Amino acid sequence: MIGAILKFKGSLIKRIIYVVTITLSVMLIAACNRPGVQVTEREKENYEKIVAGEIIECPYGLDANGSCLDEGDDGIW
């Protein structure tokens, strides 16, 4: 079917299809890159301790990012 359309419409349709394909490919590559999330040194240290099986001493517990909670903080924004 596409071959028949391209046969009648000529190179304009081909160019449009190529442009759309290249644009979608570039968008896919850009979307799949590593995110630029900044992790604090303290969170990184705590994460490495957890992975190594060590215990982290935080009197009020840890939040989801591995930071120690302050008094009265529940870790929910």
pLDDT class of 67 with cuts at 50, 70, 90? confident
Q: Which sequence spans correspond to the domains of the chain? A: 2-31, 37-77
C-alpha span between 45 and 69 (Å, rounded): 15
Residue 34: predicted pLDDT: 72
- Of residues 1 and 55, the one with the higher pLDDT is 55
Residue 77: predicted pLDDT: 66
Residue 20: predicted pLDDT: 95
HSE-CB at 1 with a 13 A cutoff on CA atoms is: 0
C-alpha span between 74 and 46 (Å, rounded): 18
Supply the DSSP symbol for 68. Answer: B
Render pLDDT for 20-63 as a digit per residue (tens, 0 to 9).
Answer: 999 999 998 888 877 677 777 878 888 888 889 888 888 888 88
